[in-house]
Chains A and B, each alone.
Chain A
Amino acid sequence: RKEVEQDPGPFNVPEGATVAFNCTYSNSASQSFFWYRQDCRKEPKLLMSVYSSGNEDGRFTAQLNRASQYISLLIRDSKLSDSATYLCVASAYNQGGKLIFGQGTELSVKP
């Protein structure tokens, strides 16, 4: 079993749609969580950190459920520019803080 697992993609949605990505992690010692965005043939870029209370940044909302070891990312009012691969990432202090990446979920927003 992969340490960080994500919804298989791709997600094809129209502009303006709301889309949700789910992610689970298996290491209960994971302490920090992130969503990264990766465009084709580019490096990943941090989209947002995920906090226990949940957090929102504009059209993006991230939530964490430690009991279920589950993380989500909600994108509202999708834009064409949101098309990318979204990577769920966990980090555990008992692993020296290294980042464990999920396989990514591809999002394609169509006009």
Chain B
Amino acid sequence: GAVVSQHPSRVICKSGTSVKIECRSLDFQATTMFWYRQFPKQSLMLMATSNEGSKATYEQGVEKDKFLINHASLTLSTLTVTSAHPEDSSFYICSASSLELAGGQGDEQFFGPGTRLTVL
């Protein structure tokens, strides 16, 4: 149980285009979904936290108009990188948490397999 999928797993696009990444919780309803970014040889950096039906909370330094997050249901969140540039090339990983699964603690996050974005 507690499986999270991401699509696509890899995307290569031209500079200036927009890219949408989907994150789905397959066998549970996610109370909260998180979006991370990881550059080579660096750790995961949280970009934003989103709860179903409400606006995402972005971390300091993350442009909300560039990284659009939609959390339309308890099993789906999307991240759209708008007008992507080469410096946006990174590994984007989503995770999901559920109060049901964590015994009420809600700490544990279940990670998707990640999306590798390359902007040419």
User: Which residues of chain A have a CB within 8 Å of any CB of chain B?
Assistant: 32, 34, 41-46, 49, 87, 91, 96-104
* Contact, CB under 8 Å: A43 / B107: no
A97 to B97, CA, bound (A): 10
User: Which residues of chain B have a CB within 8 Å of any CB of chain A?
Assistant: 32, 34, 42-46, 49, 57, 91, 93, 95, 97, 105-109, 111-114, 116
Shortest Cβ distance from residue A62 to the other chain B in the assembled complex, whole angstroms: 15
20 chain-A/chain-B pairs, Cβ below 8 angstroms = A32-B105, A32-B107, A41-B116, A43-B93, A43-B112, A43-B113, A43-B114, A44-B44, A87-B44, A96-B49, A97-B32, A97-B97, A97-B106, A98-B46, A99-B95, A99-B109, A100-B46, A103-B42, A103-B43, A104-B43
Shortest Cβ distance from residue B91 to the other chain A in the assembled complex, whole angstroms: 7
A-B CB proximity, top 7 nearest: A43-B111, A101-B43, A32-B107, A103-B43, A101-B44, A43-B114, A43-B113
* Contact, CB under 8 Å: A99 / B93: no
Residue of B32, B44, B97, B114 with most chain A CB atoms under a 10 A cut-off: B44
Contacts of A44 in B (CB 8 A): 44, 93, 111
11 further contact pairs, Cβ within 8 A, besides A32-B105, A43-B113: A32-B107, A41-B116, A43-B93, A43-B111, A43-B114, A44-B44, A44-B111, A49-B107, A87-B44, A101-B43, A101-B45
